[in-house]
Amino acid sequence: MAYDTNNIFARILRGEIPCKKVYEDEFSLAFHDINPQAPTHVLVIPKGEYVSMADFTAEAPAELVAGFFRAVGKVAEELELVEPGYRILANAGTNAHQEVPHLHIHIFGGKPLGPMLVR
């Protein structure tokens, strides 16, 4: 799938749309989800034009792949989610109902999340 440079997260990365930022470094940006599904619901996105995890892991430079995953770990740590626990999730494609075509990892936490749902 070709990358749409006007998707909402690309526009957030360019500063055209505001976000509630929680973390940023040279590889990634993390911000609160606009429609939270848990008391803490943060999205972490890589700085680069990648639609999905498949795309990212195949095409991104190793430094960016490492930097992005380190950022996910750092955000969980900074939000004090590590000890109580948290969930990460990345939707990819139609069956997963991916809405925004820029790779993002959801971080959910802040309460017991129950078993993972698969319907």
* Residues involved in catalysis: 104
Candidates 30-38, 45-53, 72-80, 109-117; binding stretch for ligand AMP (CB under 6 A): 30-38
Question: Should residue 99 be labelled a site residue for ligand AMP when binding is judged by CB under 6 A?
Answer: yes
Strands in 28-32's sheet, in edge-to-edge order, are 21-24, 28-32, 40-46, 105-109, 86-89
Q: How far is the CB of 101 from ligand AMP (least distance, A)?
A: 8
Show Cβ contacts of residue 26 under 8 Å, excluding neighbours closer than 6 positions.
47, 67
Show Cβ contacts of residue 76 under 8 Å, excluding neighbours closer than 6 positions.
82, 86, 88, 107, 109
Name the residue nearer to ligand AMP (CB basis): 39 or 62.
39
Tell me phi and psi for residue 11, to 5 degrees: -70, -35
Name the residue nearer to ligand AMP (CB basis): 39 or 83.
39
Alpha-carbon distance of 61 to 66, in angstroms, equals 9
Question: Should residue 1 be labelled a site residue for ligand AMP when binding is judged by CB under 6 A?
Answer: no
Residue 48 DSSP SS3: coil
Determine which residue in the list 97, 112, 118, 119 makes contact with ligand AMP, applying CB under 6 A: 97
Name the residue nearer to ligand AMP (CB basis): 1 or 34.
34
Residues that bind ligand AMP (CB under 6 A): 8, 17, 19, 33-35, 43, 91, 97-100
